[in-house]
């Protein structure tokens, strides 16, 4: 698919009867994008009626290398055709060895990181659950500090450190053992960083249960593209270190190059105690997750945390191929920053042109923020009509969040930004 091919046709209403009949009301993306998708390639999705959609969403950040990336596809098909082990729990396999070696050589070693690697189950929420368990086991404490507008997952442990009140209510039990603290810039700079957090930690009468760990996203994607400054992250790391609290960076969405460097925390020069990775770590959009932690924290007993699909070997294969192809040098990182800057320019212009519009972001996660939340929704709806997929985020869905594939071409980027600019103009004029 190419831009030229993207000729929206008059389309017939798609056949969605079976979805309405059989699939739970919990489905959500299909409500905003009521097409039935069939094929995908690079930055494009094609619906069954032949309409192409430029993808500024990238599987919620799980497709940093684009859809059906040919390099990874080739490795994947070869593996399947040769009867490589598909499903291996935590058995040793050749594919897993290859992934570990590549992760060591291309990710950990170059960054001087002495982490152990856990395969906690193939989803981000599994990686977070394992991180929280480990932090509690290491410290003997129960309480976790999370941040306003955090998103960490939907299973009970991860949900307890997630901010969204609708999703929290879904738990059906009171979510406890977590206390929210203000994320960077929560008060628009009028309040000293960590004023509240450091004070309640140091006040023996504050009533705060002493935390095992802090869990943080360096950029909050679901929370509305809230970007933590490097100095804030450094101060947070210092605060944790001084008080013997473990620092968990949840890099499920912002890792794997989304903000430029492989890990999103590299910009701050910090070394978290525990790191979670998922989404794009598999490379091809297949389920995979890792929990990384400092060597000395590896106090797990054998089998103390497990799960059937920890050994999703096809994803090991694509993961290793992606690391080898994209992380042997800094080209992807530089491209990401350059493209991110291109989006930022467009969004700055839109902010200048229209009242009630602002922007924030880092690398290839960029947000166009509308004072009136319904405007963000309208922009995304108009974009969809024009063949562009972009979603909203933030507590009131007030942010148009861009997560294009890192491999998007400049022309594709331009094409999509034009659609967004026109949609914004239409909505705000």
Asked if 13 interacts with a copy of itself (CB under 8 A), we say no
Residue from 106, 193, 214, 224 in contact with a copy of itself (CB under 8 A)? 224
Instruction: Rank residues 4 and 22 by Cβ distance to a copy of itself and give the closer one.
Output: 22
- Answer yes or no whether residue 103 interacts with a copy of itself by CB under 8 A: yes
Footprint of a copy of itself on 50-79 (CB under 8 A): 59-63, 67-68, 73, 76-77
Q: Which residue, 174 or 429, is less far from a copy of itself as judged by CB?
A: 174
Structure tokens at 359: 């922007």
Smallest separation (angstroms) from a copy of itself to the CB of 294: 11
Query: What span, in angstroms and rounded, lies between the C-alpha atoms of 197 and 206?
Result: 10
Member of 3, 185, 186, 325 binding a copy of itself (CB under 8 A): 186
Least distance (Å) from a copy of itself to the CB of residue 192? 8
Distance, in Å, from the CA atom of 285 to the CA atom of 46, rounded to the nearest integer, reads: 17
Number of CB atoms found within 10 A of residue 50's CB = 13
As given in the structure block, the two tokens for residue 396 are 């009131």
Q: Which of 6, 43, 64, 123 binds a copy of itself (CB under 8 A)?
A: 123
The answer for 229, left when phi > 0, alpha when psi is -120 to 50, beta otherwise, is: beta
Q: Where are the alpha helices (DSSP H) in 313-407?
A: 313-326, 331-353, 373-385
Question: Which residue of 3, 71, 113, 148 would you call a contact of a copy of itself, by CB under 8 A?
Answer: 148
Residues in CB range of 362: below 8 A, 6 or more apart: 218, 219, 227, 259, 260, 264, 267, 340
- What contacts 16, CB < 8 A, 6 or more positions away? 30, 34, 36
Work out which of 39, 234, 294, 428 binds a copy of itself, going by CB under 8 A: 39
CB 265 within 8 A of CB 218: yes
Stretch that binds a copy of itself, among 124-132, 268-276, 335-343, 410-418 (CB under 8 A): 124-132
Q: Pick one of 153, 211, 221, 340: the residue that binds a copy of itself (CB under 8 A).
A: 153
Residue 245 C-beta-side C-alpha neighbours within 13 Å: 27
Stretch that binds a copy of itself, among 83-91, 230-238, 264-272, 320-328 (CB under 8 A): 83-91
Between 69 and 336, CB nearer to a copy of itself = 69
Q: Does 24 bind a copy of itself (CB under 8 A)?
A: yes
Tokens read off for 193? 């960083």
112 binds a copy of itself (CB under 8 A): no
β-pairing verdict for 357-362 and 365-370: antiparallel
Nearest approach, Cβ of 282 to a copy of itself (angstroms)?
9
> Do the Cβ atoms of 94 and 426 come closer than 8 Å?
no
| Contact region with a copy of itself (CB under 8 A), list: 135-143, 327-335, 358-366, 417-425 | 135-143
Furthest CA-CA distance within the chain: 67
Structure tokens at 149: 């507008």
**Whole-number minimum distance, CB 293 to a copy of itself, in Å?**
8
The footprint of a copy of itself on residues 279-318 (CB under 8 A) is: 279, 284-287, 291, 293, 298-309, 312, 314
x-marked contacts with a copy of itself along 245-284 as a string, rule CB under 8 A: -------x-------------------------xx----x
Q: Which of 4, 7, 13, 165 binds a copy of itself (CB under 8 A)?
A: 165
In the bound complex, what is the minimum distance in angstroms from residue 346's beta carbon to a copy of itself? Answer: 26
Of residues 63 and 350, the one with the C-beta less far from a copy of itself: 63
Shortest reach from residue 147's CB to a copy of itself, in Å: 8
Q: Which of these segments, 80-88, 240-248, 352-360, 417-425, binds a copy of itself (CB under 8 A)?
A: 80-88
What is the torsional sign of CA 315, 321, 325, 327?
Answer: positive
Residue 210 near a copy of itself by CB under 8 A: yes
Supply φ then ψ for residue 280, to 5 degrees.
-85, 0
Rounded Cα–Cα distance for residues 64 and 258 (Å): 7
- Cβ nearer to a copy of itself, comparing 200 with 421: 200
- CA 186 to CA 165: how far, in whole Å? 17
Query: Per the structure block, which two tokens stand in for 79?
Result: 């593996």
Which residue in 10, 12, 82, 429 binds a copy of itself (CB under 8 A)? 82
Strands 290-294 vs 115-118: parallel, antiparallel or unpaired: antiparallel
Instruction: With beta carbons less than 8 A apart as the criterion, state whether 260 and 267 touch.
Output: yes
Tracing tokens 């970007």 back to the chain, one arrives at: 227
Closest CA to 267 of 237, 292, 241, 294: 237
From the CB of 270, what's the least distance to a copy of itself, in Å? 22
Residue 157 makes contact with a copy of itself by CB under 8 A: yes
| Residues in region 380-399 near a copy of itself by CB under 8 A | 394-396
Residue 353 binds a copy of itself, judged by CB under 8 A: no
């Amino acid at each position: 698919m190419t831009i030229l091919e993207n000729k929206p046709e008059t389309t017939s209403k798609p056949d969605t009867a079976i979805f309405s009949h059989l699939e739970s009301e919990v489905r959500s993306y299909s409500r905003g994008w009521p097409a039935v998708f069939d094929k995908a390639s690079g930055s494009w999705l094609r619906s069954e009626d032949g309409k192409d959609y430029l993808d500024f969403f990238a599987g919620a950040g799980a497709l940093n290398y684009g859809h059906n990336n040919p390099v990874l596809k080739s490795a994947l098909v070869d593996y399947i055709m040769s009867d490589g082990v598909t499903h291996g729990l935590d058995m040793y396999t050749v594919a897993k060895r290859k992934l570990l070696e590549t992760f060591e050589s291309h990710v950990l070693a170059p960054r001087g990181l002495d982490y152990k690697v856990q395969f906690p189950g193939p989803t981000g929420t599994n990686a977070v659950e394992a991180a929280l368990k480990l932090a509690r086991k290491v410290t003997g404490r129960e309480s976790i500090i999370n941040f306003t507008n955090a998103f960490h997952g939907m299973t009970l442990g991860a949900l307890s450190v997630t901010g969204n009140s609708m999703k929290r209510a879904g738990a059906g039990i009171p979510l406890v053992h977590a206390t929210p603290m203000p994320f960077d810039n929560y008060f628009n700079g009028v309040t000293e960083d960590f004023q509240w957090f450091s004070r309640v930690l140091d006040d023996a009468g504050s009533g705060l249960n002493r935390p095992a760990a802090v869990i943080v996203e360096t950029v909050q994607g679901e929370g509305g593209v809230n970007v933590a400054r490097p100095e804030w992250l450094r101060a947070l790391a210092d605060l944790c270190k001084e008080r013997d609290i473990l620092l968990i960076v949840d890099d499920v969405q912002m890792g794997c190059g989304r903000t430029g460097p492989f890990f999103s925390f590299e910009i701050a020069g910090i070394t978290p105690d525990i790191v979670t990775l998922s989404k794009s770590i598999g490379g091809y959009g297949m389920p995979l997750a890792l929990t990384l932690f400092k060597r000395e924290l590896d106090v797990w007993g054998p089998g103390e945390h497990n799960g059937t699909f920890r050994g999703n070997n096809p994803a090991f294969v694509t993961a290793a191929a992606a690391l080898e192809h994209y992380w042997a040098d800094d080209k992807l990182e530089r491209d990401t920053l350059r493209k991110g800057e291109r989006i930022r320019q467009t969004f700055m212009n839109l902010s200048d042109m229209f009242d009630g519009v602002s922007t924030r972001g880092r690398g290839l996660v960029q947000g166009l923020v509308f004072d009136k939340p319904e405007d963000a929704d309208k922009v995304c709806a108009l974009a969809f009509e024009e063949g562009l997929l972009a979603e909203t985020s933030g507590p009131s869905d007030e942010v148009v969040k861009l997560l294009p594939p890192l491999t998007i071409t400049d022309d594709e980027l331009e094409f999509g930004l034009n659609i967004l600019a026109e949609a914004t103009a239409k909505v705000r004029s």
